[in-house]
């Protein structure tokens, strides 16, 4: 009994003696962890309040100021565009224009005797354009113009011998039909497109011409293109360029081409129209336009110092006092990039080149004495600073960085007018000239925000002349492949292997946005998480390559 009593009396004292140190140690550890977490939280609050919040507040102020500048510019262009439309201020009413009447059934050689028809050079630069070379050459050879007053020049920089043979054979076929078509090649690709166009102007037959029409390899002008554009140059000696509008053969190929159509329709209907109507200036689109050759020569000819040789020439011609006309009624069929890789390369070239040209020409624009102060302001402020720099930077930093980060920093709040009213107004102004596609606006917003990261990097590369500043990648065309019936789909089948299609920067940014959205959902006091979640998904979709047309590698 004593043993049992001792045992029974031992047991209650044994457990406290054995487990109390463990409990005490665990409690101390938990208290230590809690104290450490509270200290970390206190340090985070201090750093957030003293360092992060002021920087974020400054970034917010700068972004809001830039968004206001962008809104004012877009609103002004939209008002001008609508006024031109409703007042019917077409180019043929603002400038002298008389039709060139050539009876199609008559011999075009005889027509040149009856009319002072100018000599026209048609240039078609191309590089390994196996899918589309027949389209552009055939369309150029089908232009209605006296055959003894037109020269068609195919500038082939192809490096693929098979493609070169095919293009040369196509030129020979048209030459056998009586067309003045010339197949020209170079020993190198120096200057890329600008170098090819410059070299093409040096041939003796080219120097006989008064005007030059330029078409990229996928562009197909209608037969009356020259009849409708050249008269502006013939009867208005101050006009140096007539630009036609792009029309697309594959706008419904996939969701990405639909979004591109919305963006480019706005560019032509609003930006080009407004610039042409008020300042008689806009950026040459590099194709589907007719230049007065003397304007090119006076401006200094083609230069290859940037990847936007077309804009470079246009700005230099503008500084010499030449006027430009945009003719929206004349449309030229072309192909939209339908693969994400091709579209990204194109956007990098356009965005980086424009920013780099701004860097190179700002001083020249300021010191020139041949144009008015208002045209200088328009060039430097509206054309370059707001549209080529601010538009790309504010889209990314405000809507993809500042707004998401603000949910982690409660000391900084984004005003509702900056996060809702201004972007909504800008979106509506972008859609007002294309109401039939307004149901694609949500996809347009999300995709453009994703692309803003790509354009932001390209803008900074161009401004600071680093990295891929002079990288020229020809936009891939699919030609006849785009004629197949498109499949209605939101997520597109990826066209490359896993390693080739994945873009780590977009995926990483998707993870960041997802974290911000979760923090806002569980701890925030607003509804930003709805937008941030959607934007996170968009970055992830693009990062995984599920955007654009599927192209079989077989």
Pairing label, strands 181-185, 120-126: unpaired
Instruction: Report the pLDDT value the prediction gives residue 467, as an integer from 0 to 100.
Output: 83
Is pLDDT at 482 greater than 60 in this prediction?
A: no
Residues 6+ apart with CB under 8 A from 378: 279, 281
Reduced to 3 states (helix: H, G, I; strand: E, B; else coil), residue 491 is coil
Pairing label, strands 323-334, 120-126: unpaired
The Cα–Cα gap between 152 and 141 comes to: 7
Q: What is the 3-state secondary structure (H, E, C) of 142-159?
A: CCCCCHHHEEEEEEECCC
The Cα–Cα gap between 504 and 544 comes to: 9
Instruction: Report the pLDDT value the prediction gives residue 106, as an integer from 0 to 100.
Output: 47
CA-based nearest residue to 284, from 377, 187, 221, 354: 354
More reliable by pLDDT, 311 or 3: 311
CA-based nearest residue to 160, from 194, 131, 180: 131
Provide, rounded to the nearest whole percent, the portion of the chain with pLDDT above 70. Answer: 86
Confidence of residue 470 (pLDDT cuts 50, 70, 90): confident
Instruction: Report the pLDDT value the prediction gives residue 133, as an integer from 0 to 100.
Output: 95
Pairing label, strands 211-214, 289-292: antiparallel
Confidence of residue 260 (pLDDT cuts 50, 70, 90): very high
Is pLDDT at 3 greater than 70 in this prediction?
A: no
CA-based nearest residue to 429, from 323, 241, 247, 270: 270
Least confident of 15-19, 189-193, 496-500: 15-19
Instruction: Report the pLDDT value the prediction gives residue 343, as an integer from 0 to 100.
Output: 95
Is pLDDT at 110 greater than 60 in this prediction?
A: no
The Cα–Cα gap between 154 and 427 comes to: 41
* Cα dihedral sign, 255-258-260-262: negative
pLDDT tens, position by position, 487-530: 444 555 555 566 677 899 999 999 999 999 999 999 887 889 99
Instruction: Report the pLDDT value the prediction gives residue 14, as an integer from 0 to 100.
Output: 45
Taking residue 428's Cβ as centre, other Cβ atoms within 10 Å add up to 13
Least confident of 98-102, 126-130, 397-401, 476-480: 476-480
Confidence of residue 433 (pLDDT cuts 50, 70, 90): confident
Q: What is the pTM of this model?
A: 0.88
Is pLDDT at 182 greater than 90 in this prediction?
A: yes
Half-sphere exposure of 488 (CA within 13 A, CB side): 0
Q: Are the C-beta atoms of 460 and 408 separated by less than 8 Å?
A: no
Instruction: Report the pLDDT value the prediction gives residue 496, as an integer from 0 to 100.
Output: 54
Mean pLDDT of 429-453: 91
Is residue 265 among the annotated active site residues? no
pLDDT tens, position by position, 263-306: 999 999 999 999 999 999 999 999 999 999 999 999 999 999 99
Mean pLDDT of 129-155: 96
Instruction: Report the pLDDT value the prediction gives residue 236, as an integer from 0 to 100.
Output: 96
Instruction: Report the pLDDT value the prediction gives residue 338, as an integer from 0 to 100.
Output: 93
Instruction: Report the pLDDT value the prediction gives residue 113, as an integer from 0 to 100.
Output: 43
More reliable by pLDDT, 430 or 495: 430
pLDDT tens, position by position, 362-382: 999 999 998 999 999 999 999
* 528-543 and 504-523 helices, crossing angle to 10°: 160
User: 228 exposed, middle or buried (CB, 10 Å; 0-12, 13-18, 19+)?
Assistant: buried
pLDDT tens, position by position, 378-404: 999 999 999 999 999 999 999 999 999
Instruction: Report the pLDDT value the prediction gives residue 468, as an integer from 0 to 100.
Output: 82
Q: Are the C-beta atoms of 83 and 76 separated by less than 8 Å?
A: no
Is residue 310 among the annotated active site residues? yes
Confidence of residue 41 (pLDDT cuts 50, 70, 90): confident
pLDDT tens, position by position, 457-469: 999 999 999 988 8
pLDDT tens, position by position, 349-360: 999 999 999 999
List the catalytic residue out of 156, 216, 218, 310. 310
List the catalytic residue out of 157, 265, 304, 312. 157
Residues 6+ apart with CB under 8 A from 202: none
Length of the chain as a residue count: 554
Is pLDDT at 128 greater than 50 in this prediction?
A: yes
Q: What's 381's DSSP letter?
A: I
pLDDT averaged over the chain? 88
């Amino acid at each position: 009994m004593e043993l049992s009593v001792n045992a029974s009396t031992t047991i209650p004292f044994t457990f406290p003696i054995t487990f109390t140190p463990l409990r005490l140690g665990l409690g101390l550890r938990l208290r230590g962890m809690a104290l450490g977490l509270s200290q970390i939280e206190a340090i985070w609050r201090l750093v957030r309040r003293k360092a992060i919040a002021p920087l974020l507040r400054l970034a917010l102020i700068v972004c809001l100021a830039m968004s206001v500048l962008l809104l004012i510019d877009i609103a002004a262009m939209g008002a001008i565009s609508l006024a031109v439309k409703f007042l019917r201020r077409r180019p043929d009413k603002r400038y002298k224009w008389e039709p060139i009447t050539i009876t199609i059934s008559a011999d075009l050689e005889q027509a040149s005797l009856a009319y002072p028809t100018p000599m026209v050079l048609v240039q078609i630069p191309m590089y390994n354009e196996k899918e589309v070379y027949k389209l552009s050459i055939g369309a150029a050879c089908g232009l209605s113009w006296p055959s003894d007053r037109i020269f068609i020049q195919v500038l082939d920089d192809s490096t693929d011998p098979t493609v070169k043979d095919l293009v040369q054979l196509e030129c020979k076929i048209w030459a056998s039909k009586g067309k003045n078509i010339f197949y020209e090649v170079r020993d190198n690709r120096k200057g890329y497109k600008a170098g090819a166009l410059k070299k093409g102007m040096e041939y003796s037959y080219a120097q006989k011409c008064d005007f030059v029409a330029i078409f990229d390899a996928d562009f197909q002008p209608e037969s009356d293109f020259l009849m409708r554009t050249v008269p502006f140059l013939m009867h208005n000696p101050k006009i140096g360029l007539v630009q036609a509008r792009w029309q697309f053969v594959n706008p419904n190929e996939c969701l990405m081409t639909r979004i591109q159509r919305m963006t480019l329709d706005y560019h032509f209907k609003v930006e080009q129209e407004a610039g042409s109507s008020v300042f008689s200036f806009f950026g040459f689109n590099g194709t589907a336009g007719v230049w007065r050759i003397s304007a090119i020569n006076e401006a200094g000819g083609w230069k290859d110092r940037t990847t936007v040789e077309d804009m470079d020439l246009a700005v230099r011609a503008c500084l010499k006092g030449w006027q430009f006309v945009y003719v929206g009624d004349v449309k030229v069929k072309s192909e939209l990039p339908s693969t994400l890789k091709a579209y990204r390369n194109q956007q990098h070239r356009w965005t980086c080149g424009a920013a780099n040209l701004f860097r190179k020409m700002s001083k020249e624009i300021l010191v020139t004495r041949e144009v008015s102060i208002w045209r200088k302001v328009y060039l430097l402020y509206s054309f370059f600073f707001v549209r080529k720099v601010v538009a790309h930077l504010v889209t990314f930093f405000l809507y993809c960085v500042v707004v998401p980060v603000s949910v982690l920093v409660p000391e900084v709040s984004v005003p509702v007018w900056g996060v809702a009213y201004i972007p909504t107004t800008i979106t509506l102004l972008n859609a007002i000239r294309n109401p039939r596609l307004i149901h694609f606006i949500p996809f347009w917003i999300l995709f453009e925000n994703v692309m803003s990261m790509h354009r932001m990097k390209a803008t900074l590369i161009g401004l600071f002349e680093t990295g891929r500043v002079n990288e020229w990648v020809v936009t891939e065309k699919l030609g006849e492949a785009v004629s197949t019936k498109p499949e209605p789909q939101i997520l597109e089948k990826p066209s490359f292997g896993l390693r080739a299609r994945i873009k780590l920067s977009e995926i990483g940014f998707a993870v960041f946005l997802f974290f911000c959205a979760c923090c806002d959902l569980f701890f925030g006091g607003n509804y930003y998480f709805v937008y941030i979640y959607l934007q996170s998904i968009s970055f992830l979709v693009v990062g995984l390559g599920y955007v654009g047309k599927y192209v079989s590698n077989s």
